[in-house]
Structure 1
Amino acid sequence: MDIKKKDIDALNAVVTVEIKKDDYQSNVEKVLNNYRKTANIPGFRKGHIPMGMVKKQYGQSVLVEEVNKLLQEGLHKFLNEEKLDVLGNPLPKNETAIDWKSDDFTFEFDLGLAPKFDVDVKKKAVTNYKVVADDEMLDNQVKTIRKQYGKLTSQDAVAKGVEITGTFSNDEAGIEKSTTIELDALKGKTQIKALTGAKVGDVVTLKTKGLFADDHDNQKYLGVDHDAAHGLDVEVSFKVEEVNTREMAELNQELFDKLFGKDVVTSEDELKAKIKEDAEQQFMQQSDQKLLNDVVESLIENTKFDLPTQFLERWIQTSSEKPMTDEEAKAEFERSEKGLRYQLIEGKLRAENNLQVTFDELKDYSRQMIKAQMAQFGQMDPSDEELDNIAARIMSNQEEVKRLSEQLNTNKLLQYFKENAKLKTKEVSYDKFIKEAYA
């Protein structure tokens, strides 16, 4: 078997595979001999079928199967030995023109080659948001805690200063959300007037446009997603289920112990410090995700390279489960091009910076996750044997291994960006972060 590669250009090549009779003949004869011993043909005893009859009945299909086996094995070995970085799979050029009655065969395959390029994570600065819990947020959180643990008193009707529990509904917009809301949270005078005086069991119609000062509150109170929340303009019915006033809880040791355990927090200042610490830890997860997304977008935009477009469109067309026209394949390539470019960029970053996840790292990561989860339930010091046993069960579950691998891969990439990308740190409040990051 002889295999040669001819470069068409930097991104396309043709591989020619020549298979001669000597390459496959012994394998074909071996298979046919086995068929002769095991085949059931009326009029002949098993094992005494004439070879001529076996060849006539099975020879062509065995030949095709054995040649294709050699072809696939040889092509795979060639690509590995030549260290060819190909996109998609080799596509046959002359598959329909093969004469299976001849002794020697020549196959041609188109290859789409991965482009050569450099990745510069310092090329363009990306904003790294440091989200802080400001005094206003801390005061509001303390107020929320005091309300949450305060005393409720039932009221006859909606009035200023009450809490209203009820359900927002709009079948067409897919809204069905039970919530508790303060009358003061509403913005429009018309909306407030419509609710004022309503009693338990009443259904009030409200307009969502301008219902709240901030459209993001539509997510919180109406249960719609982020995109739908902006500029939402529909009518919703609100069924009043409870009307209450709330006497705020005292800031005392009994409340602190109820929140955090005995004597963990002993003053309002310590309470605010604890709230600040917990909030900023949660903010970091959001700002990290924003940073990761922004660096990825920057790399795609600023890392320039060509792709073997025609090859990839053809590959998409031939590998599709359903028949696909040229136009459909082109449209699918355009939809997937951005993702493909980032796959190539990420693959290069991981290979050049040793960012692949090892089994030991994955096992270690699973132990840390287990330990953190156990701590939430009061098990602060589990034994190594206990951690290893749980980790072993997790590592035997393919779905869990896949999920943890994806998390760890993301964490390693994020850490690499934090240490190596060109970042400009910007300190903002949470409200400002939301407005800037998701505007």
Structure 2
Amino acid sequence: MNIIKKEIDKLNAVLTVEVSKEDYSANVEKVLNNYKKTANIPGFRKGQIPMGMVKKQYGKAVLVEEVNKVLQGALHKYLTEEKLDILGNPLPKNEAGINWDDDNYSFEFELGLAPQFNVDVKGKEVLQYKIVADDEMLNNQVKTIRKQYGKLISKKEVEKGDEITGTFTSTEKEIEKKTTLSTDEIAGKKQLESLIGAKVGDTVTLKTKGMFADDHDNQKYLGVAHDEAHGLDIEVSFNIEEVNKREMAELNQELFDKLFGEGKVSSEEELKAKIKEDAEGQFAQQSDQKLLNDVVESLIENTKFDLPQEFLQRWIAMSGEKRLSEEDAKAEFERSEKGLRYQLIEGKLRAENKLQVTFDELKDYSKNMIKAQMAQYGQMDPSDEEMESITARILSNKEEVERLSEQLNSAKLLNFFKENAKLKTKEITYDKFIKEAYA
């Protein structure tokens, strides 16, 4: 067995694998001898078939199979021992030209070589958002809580701020939807004027265009499909069945204990502080995901290297169940190029900075996740035996292991970027973050 590597350029090479008779002949003879013992050929007793007949019937197929086994094993060993970093898989180059009547064979394979490059995470500055809960948000949250835990007072006539229960109907769109909404949800001035002063039992005709600030509310309150909700412009009838004024709950110890447990919050200031802490904890997750996405985009854009594009297009064309045309393979490469570039960048970062996830890390991560979930249901101190049992069960599930590994991989990468990337922090409210980050 002899293997020769010829570099075409820095990204392409050709491997020539020379297979001689001595590399495969013993395996071929062994298989044919087994066939001789077990094959069923009419006119011959089992095990008494002449070897010449066995070779005539099975010889070529066995030869091809055993040579390919030797060939694939030699390829794998060579690539591993030489530590060749290749993209895709080796592509046969002269497969159609092999003369299987010879004793010795020479196989050629094209290789796409991974590019050499450096990753500079401290290069271009990336914006990191710190989302804060401002006074307006905190006041609105307190107001929402007071409404949620307040009392409903039944009324006969609609006034501003009341909650109305009724049924929307429309024969045109086949709407018949019972709902409860506050007059505060009505954005249209004419629609609000039609509702104010209406009484229980009245039926009010309303135009849907501009009735709500967000067209998605047409889906929520009228029951229309998502696609119909956008730009809905019809008349609907609204039969008023119930009117209630919501008397807001007092900010007292009874409410605080109901919300957070006995004695944990004892004033409006502490309530706002708790709301702020919880809200900003949730905001941090969105900010972190945005940061991770932005650093990734920056690395892809600013880490320059070439790829063996023609080789990869040929590999894409041949690697699927159905061979693709040259045009389709090129289009598929263009769709996947960005992802491939990031795979190479991420792989280099993980290898150079030891960011790979170990089993012990995955096990600890699983335990912490389980503890957090159990704490939500009041199980604050599970036993070690219980934790080990649940963790073992989770880690025996392949899909769960993949999901948790992906989460932990992202967390490790995010922490690495926070510690090493060139970041500029910007403090911003949640509403402004949504507008600015996802405009």
Q: Which residue number in structure 2 is paired with residue 359 of structure 1?
A: 359
1:67-109: CA deviations, max 9, x gaps? Answer: 0101111111111111111111111111111111111111111
Aligned runs of 1:147-296 on 2, under 5 Å?
A: 147-155=147-155, 159-164=159-164, 181-193=181-193, 197=198, 206-207=207-208, 211-212=212-213, 232-235=230-233, 243-296=243-296
The answer to whether the 8 A contact 1:126-1:422 is kept is: yes
1:312-333: CA deviations, max 9, x gaps? Answer: 1111111123342111111111
Shift of 1:394: 1.0
Shift of 1:208: 5.4
The answer to whether the 8 A contact 1:205-1:235 is kept is: no
Shift of 1:3: 0.9
The answer to whether the 8 A contact 1:166-1:238 is kept is: no
Aligned runs of 1:75-86 on 2, under 5 Å?
A: 75-86=75-86
CA–CA separation in structure 2 for the residues paired with 1:16 and 1:333: 27
Shift of 1:264: 1.0
In structure 2, relative to structure 1, the CA distance for the partners of 1:402 and 1:98 (3 Å cut) is same
Q: Which stretch of the first structure deviates more once superposed, 249-258 or 49-58?
A: 249-258
Shift of 1:179: 6.9
Q: Show structure 1 runs of 5+ residues with no match.
A: none
Shift of 1:22: 1.2
Identity %: 72
The answer to whether the 8 A contact 1:167-1:178 is kept is: yes
Q: Which residue number in structure 2 is paired with residue 129 of structure 1?
A: 129
In structure 2, relative to structure 1, the CA distance for the partners of 1:249 and 1:115 (3 Å cut) is same
Q: Which stretch of the first structure deviates more once superposed, 132-141 or 239-248?
A: 239-248
CA–CA separation in structure 2 for the residues paired with 1:430 and 1:357: 33
Shift of 1:234: 3.2
In structure 2, relative to structure 1, the CA distance for the partners of 1:314 and 1:264 (3 Å cut) is same
1:358-399: CA deviations, max 9, x gaps? Answer: 000000111111111111111112222221111111111111
Shift of 1:154: 4.2
1:39-93: CA deviations, max 9, x gaps? Answer: 1111111111000000000000000000010111111111111111111111111
In structure 2, relative to structure 1, the CA distance for the partners of 1:308 and 1:199 (3 Å cut) is farther
Shift of 1:192: 3.0
Residue 8 of structure 1: SS of its match in structure 2?
Answer: strand
Q: Which residue number in structure 2 is paired with residue 92 of structure 1?
A: 92
The answer to whether the 8 A contact 1:132-1:429 is kept is: yes
1:94-149: CA deviations, max 9, x gaps? Answer: 11111111111111111111111100011111111111111111100000000011
In structure 2, relative to structure 1, the CA distance for the partners of 1:153 and 1:409 (3 Å cut) is same
In structure 2, relative to structure 1, the CA distance for the partners of 1:324 and 1:437 (3 Å cut) is same
The answer to whether the 8 A contact 1:187-1:210 is kept is: yes
Q: Show structure 2 runs of 5+ residues with no match.
A: none
The answer to whether the 8 A contact 2:191-2:211 is kept is: no
CA–CA separation in structure 1 for the residues paired with 2:156 and 2:57: 91
Residue 130 of structure 1: SS of its match in structure 2?
Answer: strand
Residue 317 of structure 1: SS of its match in structure 2?
Answer: helix
Q: Which residue number in structure 1 is paired with residue 27 of structure 2?
A: 27
The TM-score with structure 2 as length reference comes to: 0.90
Q: Which residue number in structure 2 is paired with residue 49 of structure 1?
A: 49
Q: Which residue number in structure 2 is paired with residue 139 of structure 1?
A: 139
Shift of 1:160: 2.1
CA–CA separation in structure 2 for the residues paired with 1:381 and 1:80: 48
Q: Which amino acid is 2:266 matched to?
A: T
Number of aligned residue pairs: give it: 434
In structure 2, relative to structure 1, the CA distance for the partners of 1:369 and 1:167 (3 Å cut) is farther
1:145-192: CA deviations, max 9, x gaps? Answer: 00011112345565421234579999xx9x999975432233332443
Aligned runs of 1:396-435 on 2, under 5 Å?
A: 396-435=396-435
